[in-house]
Structure 1
């Protein structure tokens, strides 16, 4: 049975101009054998400085303001922020974003350099269709690194499949069940843009992600831009 990625009308009613890059990659070898140079992340941590003024708080960053404004349009867990804010904050504070595994390091490098959130999920763990939608409330979610199950709030923007929530508060935290691990073989990626004025930057970030996956992991990816006019795609037959 085919599987689809579907952005529901409830989402488009809040965010009609959002564009979502959706990519898939197959036959992945995500074991770290040194194929991703250490300089990839270190350079990305340095390049991230292009997105802030040194003495200003991270909240003054235009990209962060875009996402904070977006998060004000729906119900969120207290303190939830877009994942890209956390990455930029680590780089700004001098801690830097460290290595996890080749796939995550690659998409984190893109996220740091272009300031878009990027997520990767293990396609083989996805059950049924994926929906980007507004939660009814009570949908279960177990975040990466946690044992306890949380539940989504009514009115919260979530990604979910037929089993449970795979990303809370839109682009905040991902599910442990579908995270991209060293043993993941087939992956799907999504990268969201909330600002229409950044469409060119978004396209460049997608191109960079595809190129780095090709250069370092030998992966050919399929790419579709999901919009209000094109809200549904099939990612597995």
Structure 2
């Protein structure tokens, strides 16, 4: 499996860093109590820290709103903004499974979008780039095919879209479930202009997966100088 970022995306967003964690042998059906505890802590701390903030003035939010505007997705919000809005309202995220809880927690902690896919369901290699507009996509919780618009930034594989509008919503086909043992987690940083934030988030994700899900894995950070990860 390869994850490749279209070089044109780095031309458009030279500050972009994409963190990657590949997890192998995870026990995602376990209780995951410590990871759920982390999620609740990160929700509470994010709500307390940012509750009085004007989201539209926060640079970590502004960078994603600008990015979404670039591919005409003005009416949509990045995943991290959606999570933060819930945390501010005190609306606890559902306990889905340990890997999903983990990437949601770290998204709130590091204030960058995080997501993940079940690698056993990915067909071929993964590309983060621009949609042609005819790739099939059934989003989580839906049954209708909703292809992306041409030029929309998406994650996709040989069979279709894995995540629409960059990190807005993931496809049902490759979603992480309790039966998942092999996964890829990704995060995206448009704010800090260095590898550190994405790398630290990914290293913490792997550390939790190793300690509590009995997994092994690898971490990488992609940028305009390194555009591909091969597992």
TM-score by length of 1: 0.90
For residue 71 of structure 2, what is the aligned residue in structure 1?
A: 74
For residue 23 of structure 1, what is the aligned residue in structure 2?
A: 21
**Distance change (3 Å), C-alpha of 1:70 and 1:35:** same
Is 1:221 the equivalent of 2:217?
A: yes
RMSD, aligned α-carbons: 1.8
**Distance change (3 Å), C-alpha of 1:58 and 1:196:** closer
**Distance change (3 Å), C-alpha of 1:8 and 1:198:** closer
Q: How does 1:52-201 map to 2 (within 5 A)?
A: 52-54=50-52, 56-76=53-73, 79-197=75-193, 199-201=195-197
Question: Secondary structure of 1:30's match?
Answer: coil
Structure 1 position 11, deviation (Å): 1.7
Structure 1 position 230, deviation (Å): 1.0
Unaligned runs of 5+ in 2: none
User: For the residues of structure 2 that align with 1:232 and 1:60, how far apart are their CA atoms?
Assistant: 33
Question: Secondary structure of 2:206's match?
Answer: helix
Structure 1 position 199, deviation (Å): 4.4
Structure 1 position 134, deviation (Å): 1.0
**Distance change (3 Å), C-alpha of 1:81 and 1:219:** same
Unaligned runs of 5+ in 1: none
Q: Per-residue CA shift, 1:17-38, capped at 9, x if unaligned? A: 2110111011111113254354
TM-score by length of 2: 0.92
Q: Per-residue CA shift, 1:86-141, capped at 9, x if unaligned? A: 11100001112231111111111111111111111000111111111111222221
**Distance change (3 Å), C-alpha of 1:208 and 1:34:** closer
User: For the residues of structure 2 that align with 1:201 and 1:5, how far apart are their CA atoms?
Assistant: 19
For residue 206 of structure 2, what is the aligned residue in structure 1?
A: 210
